[in-house]
Amino acid sequence: MLVQPIRDRAIVKRYKDEALKSGLRNYILITFQLNMGFRIGDVVGLKVKDVKGSHMILQEQKTGKSKTQFIPNELRVELDRYTQGMSDEDYLFPSRQKNGKYPHITTTQAYRIVKGIADKLGLEHFGNHSLRKTFGRFYYEETKDLVKLQKIFNHSSQSVTMEYIGLTQDEIDETLKKFYL
């Protein structure tokens, strides 16, 4: 089965709380993913200089496309606090390995972090992409703007985006029950 998004804000809070228990770097990794919605491969190699300012520019590895995205104010505050004392050239998510083979965490290490927290909370079908999907799910629930979400994700179609965030026909039908002109 494909990895799934978190669908409940209370579980998102519990997930973030558990991430904080595993260390500030892990908490920032999780919080960054939940609020930016990037692919993990694009995140692990970020440097402090990449997240300075109100927007960040990212070169997507999968698509090769460059994208500019706003950093939410609350995340900006957490990033500023986390990076205090770090240089612009420091990796945002440094490896804890002392052998120097990897200066920043790898996607495999990110998976271990993400999955380990999910396992502690009993979340099934969970992996790196679950955080990206959770971002999309809650973005859509708040805005109902599938076109903008498709653009944020660089998806080829709205149907791909709908499937990606786990939006079902029943949920669409439910919104139509409340609609009448």
Which residues are known catalytic residues?
39, 62, 129, 132, 155, 164
Nearest to 43 by CA among 109, 136, 123: 109
3-class DSSP state for residue 74?
Answer: helix
Angle (CA) 108 113 116, round 5°: 115
H or E segment to which residue 150 belongs: helix 146-153
CA-derived radius of gyration, the chain = 17
CA distance 101 to 98: 8
- Give the helix/strand (H/E) hosting 55: strand 55-59
Token representation of residue 47: 């440097």
Going along 63-136, which residue ranges are E strands?
66-70
- C-alpha 175: how far from its chain's center? 26
- Asked if 136 contacts 153 with a C-beta cutoff of 8 angstroms, the reply is yes
